[in-house]
Amino acid sequence: MDDQTSTATIAVKIDASGLTCPMPVVRAKKGISSIEVGQLMEIIATDAGAMADFAAWTRATGNELLSGERQGEFFRFVIRRLK
Protein backbone atom coordinates (compact mmCIF):
# COMPACT_ATOMS: atom_id res chain seq x y z
CA MET A 1 0.00 0.00 0.00
CA ASP A 2 1.32 3.44 -0.86
CA ASP A 3 1.11 6.67 1.16
CA GLN A 4 -1.99 7.76 -0.77
CA THR A 5 -4.03 4.95 0.73
CA SER A 6 -2.59 4.73 4.23
CA THR A 7 -5.11 4.64 7.06
CA ALA A 8 -3.95 8.09 8.23
CA THR A 9 -5.49 9.65 5.12
CA ILE A 10 -8.84 7.82 5.17
CA ALA A 11 -11.67 10.26 5.96
CA VAL A 12 -14.44 7.66 6.32
CA LYS A 13 -14.46 3.87 6.65
CA ILE A 14 -17.44 1.81 5.52
CA ASP A 15 -17.90 -1.79 6.66
CA ALA A 16 -20.14 -3.54 4.15
CA SER A 17 -19.11 -7.04 5.26
CA GLY A 18 -21.86 -9.61 4.87
CA LEU A 19 -23.89 -7.40 2.53
CA THR A 20 -24.69 -8.41 -1.03
CA CYS A 21 -25.23 -6.32 -4.14
CA PRO A 22 -26.36 -3.57 -4.26
CA MET A 23 -25.88 -2.73 -0.57
CA PRO A 24 -22.08 -2.21 -0.57
CA VAL A 25 -22.52 0.40 -3.33
CA VAL A 26 -25.49 1.96 -1.51
CA ARG A 27 -23.31 2.31 1.60
CA ALA A 28 -20.49 3.75 -0.50
CA LYS A 29 -22.81 6.34 -2.03
CA LYS A 30 -23.84 7.49 1.45
CA GLY A 31 -20.23 7.49 2.64
CA ILE A 32 -18.85 9.46 -0.29
CA SER A 33 -21.45 12.17 0.21
CA SER A 34 -20.24 12.63 3.80
CA ILE A 35 -16.68 13.60 2.82
CA GLU A 36 -15.11 16.54 1.02
CA VAL A 37 -13.80 16.50 -2.55
CA GLY A 38 -10.25 15.12 -2.47
CA GLN A 39 -10.75 13.02 0.65
CA LEU A 40 -10.55 9.23 0.75
CA MET A 41 -13.09 6.58 1.68
CA GLU A 42 -12.27 2.98 2.56
CA ILE A 43 -14.83 0.23 2.02
CA ILE A 44 -14.57 -3.35 3.27
CA ALA A 45 -16.86 -5.87 1.56
CA THR A 46 -17.27 -9.64 1.33
CA ASP A 47 -19.43 -9.81 -1.80
CA ALA A 48 -17.40 -11.36 -4.64
CA GLY A 49 -19.08 -9.01 -7.13
CA ALA A 50 -17.75 -5.96 -5.31
CA MET A 51 -14.62 -5.72 -7.48
CA ALA A 52 -16.65 -5.21 -10.65
CA ASP A 53 -19.31 -3.17 -8.84
CA PHE A 54 -16.91 -0.58 -7.42
CA ALA A 55 -14.95 -0.27 -10.65
CA ALA A 56 -18.20 0.48 -12.50
CA TRP A 57 -19.56 2.73 -9.75
CA THR A 58 -16.48 4.93 -9.62
CA ARG A 59 -16.47 5.31 -13.42
CA ALA A 60 -20.19 6.19 -13.40
CA THR A 61 -19.87 8.72 -10.56
CA GLY A 62 -16.60 10.32 -11.65
CA ASN A 63 -14.73 9.33 -8.51
CA GLU A 64 -11.34 7.61 -8.45
CA LEU A 65 -10.78 3.99 -7.41
CA LEU A 66 -7.27 4.18 -5.95
CA SER A 67 -7.11 0.54 -4.92
CA GLY A 68 -9.19 -2.59 -4.88
CA GLU A 69 -7.69 -5.72 -3.43
CA ARG A 70 -8.65 -9.01 -1.93
CA GLN A 71 -7.42 -9.60 1.62
CA GLY A 72 -8.40 -13.15 2.53
CA GLU A 73 -12.20 -13.32 2.59
CA PHE A 74 -12.52 -9.53 2.42
CA PHE A 75 -12.21 -6.98 -0.36
CA ARG A 76 -10.76 -3.56 0.48
CA PHE A 77 -11.36 -0.51 -1.68
CA VAL A 78 -10.02 3.02 -1.38
CA ILE A 79 -11.88 5.68 -3.34
CA ARG A 80 -11.06 9.36 -3.73
CA ARG A 81 -14.01 11.73 -4.02
CA LEU A 82 -13.55 13.87 -7.13
CA LYS A 83 -16.99 15.46 -7.47
Domain annotation for the chain: domains and CATH numbers: 9-80 (3.30.110.40)
- Amino acid identity, position 36: E
pLDDT at 64 over 70: yes
Strand order in the sheet with 40-45: 10-16, 40-45, 74-80, 64-71
d(CA 82, CA 15): 21
Point out the residues that are catalytic: 21
Residue 6 per-residue DSSP state:
S
pTM of the model: 0.88
Q: Residues 68, 77: contact at Cβ < 8 Å? A: yes
Query: Average pLDDT in the 61-70 region?
Result: 96
